[in-house]
Chains A and B, each alone.
Chain A
Amino acid sequence: MIIETHGLTKQFNGSGGCKDISLSVTEGRIFGFLGPNGAGKSTFVKTLLGLLIPTGGQARIMGQPIGNIKVRSKVGYLPELFRYHDWLTGEELLKYHAQLFHLSKGEYVKKISNVLEIVGLLGKEKQKVGTYSKGMQQRIGLAVALINDPLLIFLDEPTSALDPIGRKEVRDIIIELKKQGKTVFLNSHLLSEVESVCDEIAIINHGNLVVSGSWQDLQVGELQMEISINNYSQQIGEKLKLLAIKLEKKHNNVFLSLKNEQDVNDALKIIIENSGVITKVQTKRQSLEDLFMFWIKKEGKERC
């Protein structure tokens, strides 16, 4: 486990922040940390990074407690409110951060042009950061987060200022990082963004951890299945009704709600054994949005 927290709590004068968060992140995974505005996502990350002093609980990053100096040379961070030394040029800013990581000149010269290329700022490096657009500032922030070739990268809403192309680029960067074996901790409320890249997610609301786990673990409720059948018979219908939670038929199409993936095979077997001819099959899981709404509402109800 690259990150492990036990009841990590950070509250501001007894309110807000995040409470009693216990979770673990596996090395090499992309971990999505989700929650509505003000849920406590940024607070959690800033506490893990030692910027906020925890009011309770413990956490370990790469086996070391919060604030360990050595671990920091292996961590990258893009804060949500990115402000950089605007009197430096993009290149000088990266050099400054490389030096803070104690990289030698030989190491950082190559690395700087490398990260500039990754974030798409090549050619803009001689410009003062203060004259960058908001999106460009977020990109240079991402470059800063990658300058030390980190093993673990915290990205707090990395695409908040980016256009759709930029968002896609950042998604690709995250996937590329995973391919290199890096771990990414992604804070976001953009569900589609998380949906397409994350291996594991945690949902937080009102400072409390609502649920966490892999995609599979979080799936709740039924699986939707649509089957197009030629020579549909009454018999097929009867048998499918026994299997499914819900059945609807429109022309040649049957819509089923199933308990889980195992039932897919059984449903197909019934049709084939009763000489139905399948021309099209489609299954659909709940989208992350459905999941998110489900868990957030559930948490809301439990609070009442």
Chain B
Amino acid sequence: MLTIIKYSLKEMLNKKIFVATLVLALIFLGLYGGALYMVYHKGGNFPDLIIRSTVSSQLLGAGFYFSTFIIAFLTVLGGIGTISLELESGLLYTVLTKPITRTKFMLGKFTGLALMLIIFSVFMLSSVLILNIIMAGKVFYNFQIINIIKAVNIYFLIPLTLLAIVFFFSTRLKSLATGIVVIMLFMLGIIGGFLEQIGVLIQKQELVDIGILASLISPVDSMYRKFFSVLYDVENTPLSLISTGPFGSIHPPSGWMVIYTIVFILAFVTLAIRKFNRMDL
């Protein structure tokens, strides 16, 4: 299994898609850094610490939010490249006749890809955070190490959810169809998240319900909002107000949602493995 993990990682790093994503990420970080510079150094002063902090939280939120898109892009395309396409191309004939069970093969693939995505997520999150700290100067950050660790771990559930969905559909559909379905599920989560936020804002319960339903089908966006609220420790800080806005969360998902997401991932991976074990190659 170690061999599979190692070579999945290696394969990913060798794929053009990885290089493309990295270039995209660097362009994004460059633009984002430029925008921060404009706001903090050219866009007039915000003398009030609270206002300054609110602006900063919005900018930080935007940075994290768009990083999620890049990470999702890498997850979907990378996952399809290393699982769906391999299943279709006959590349596995010689691998799955080796002394390794199909279950271990799938777990190894998942672990290898997950590791890579986690490393990439850490890179994106810390780049965005560091850019903010450098550019913003004096801002009120109330990040405690424990919150950062908790938040980042929740953040990892975003690519892992998508990866689990990719695995699930790879064993059932062709690679192109898998890509389309997973991207649609990702978008569903995003739109559901927005609807829920708007619903809370204008106090329309129907919208909130639709949003909740969408996030049960695709818990990606909920995990993003949970991440952001844990980072700002919304539940315990009176200043939680500063973290609201389009990229924050007025109404953060509960801890149960995190557990739901973990179960969701485990279920999808288990179903993928079960199907894979009964499949003709």
How far apart sit A79 and B97, CA to CA, in the bound complex (Å)? Answer: 10
From B14, B90, B99, B280, contact of A52 by CB (8 A): B280
Distance to closest chain A CB from B86 (angstroms): 9
B residues near A97, Cβ cutoff 8 Å:
94, 98
From B4, B14, B99, B280, contact of A51 by CB (8 A): B280
* Chain B residues numbered 88-124 whose CB sits less than 8 Å from any CB in chain A: 89-91, 93-101
How far apart sit A145 and B97, CA to CA, in the bound complex (Å)? Answer: 10
* Chain A residues numbered 5-39 whose CB sits less than 8 Å from any CB in chain B: 12
How far apart sit A120 and B101, CA to CA, in the bound complex (Å)? Answer: 32
A residues near B97, Cβ cutoff 8 Å:
49-51, 72, 75, 77
B residues near A79, Cβ cutoff 8 Å:
90, 93-94
Is the Cβ of A53 less than 8 Å from the Cβ of B11?
Answer: no
Is the Cβ of A100 less than 8 Å from the Cβ of B281?
Answer: no
Is the Cβ of A73 less than 8 Å from the Cβ of B99?
Answer: yes
Residue ID in chain A nearest B13 by CB atoms:
A87
Q: Does A277 count as interface, using CB distance less than 8 angstroms?
A: no
Is the Cβ of B89 less than 8 Å from the Cβ of A83?
Answer: yes
Q: Does A230 count as interface, using CB distance less than 8 angstroms?
A: no
- Known A-B contacts A77-B93, A84-B91, A85-B11; A72 and B278 likewise in contact (beta carbons under 8 Å): no
Residue ID in chain B nearest A141 by CB atoms:
B94
How far apart sit A79 and B98, CA to CA, in the bound complex (Å)? Answer: 13
Residue ID in chain B nearest A75 by CB atoms:
B97
* Chain B residues numbered 34-87 whose CB sits less than 8 Å from any CB in chain A: none
Q: Does A96 count as interface, using CB distance less than 8 angstroms?
A: yes
Residue ID in chain B nearest A48 by CB atoms:
B97
B residues near A75, Cβ cutoff 8 Å:
97
- Known A-B contacts A79-B93, A83-B89, A96-B3; A51 and B98 likewise in contact (beta carbons under 8 Å): no
- Known A-B contacts A51-B281, A69-B100, A69-B101; A100 and B95 likewise in contact (beta carbons under 8 Å): yes
Q: Does A173 count as interface, using CB distance less than 8 angstroms?
A: no
From B91, B99, B278, contact of A102 by CB (8 A): B99
Distance to closest chain A CB from B80 (angstroms): 16
Q: Does B7 count as interface, using CB distance less than 8 angstroms?
A: yes
Is the Cβ of A51 less than 8 Å from the Cβ of B96?
Answer: yes
Q: Does A110 count as interface, using CB distance less than 8 angstroms?
A: no
Residue ID in chain A nearest B98 by CB atoms:
A100
Is the Cβ of B94 less than 8 Å from the Cβ of A72?
Answer: no
B residues near A280, Cβ cutoff 8 Å:
none
A residues near B4, Cβ cutoff 8 Å:
100
Write the B256-279 contact mask toward A (1 if CB under 8 angstroms, else 0).
000000000000000000000011
B residues near A99, Cβ cutoff 8 Å:
3
Distance to closest chain A CB from B275 (angstroms): 12
Q: Does A190 count as interface, using CB distance less than 8 angstroms?
A: no
A residues near B15, Cβ cutoff 8 Å:
87
Is the Cβ of B280 less than 8 Å from the Cβ of A100?
Answer: no
From B11, B94, B281, contact of A84 by CB (8 A): B94
Q: Does A267 count as interface, using CB distance less than 8 angstroms?
A: no
For the A-B complex with A50-B97, A70-B99 known, give 12 more contacts whose Cβ atoms are closer than 8 Å.
Answer: A52-B280, A73-B98, A75-B97, A82-B94, A83-B90, A84-B91, A84-B94, A85-B11, A85-B91, A87-B14, A101-B99, A145-B94
10 shortest A-B CB distances, which residue pairs? Answer: A100-B98, A79-B93, A99-B3, A51-B281, A72-B99, A87-B14, A73-B99, A52-B280, A81-B90, A69-B99
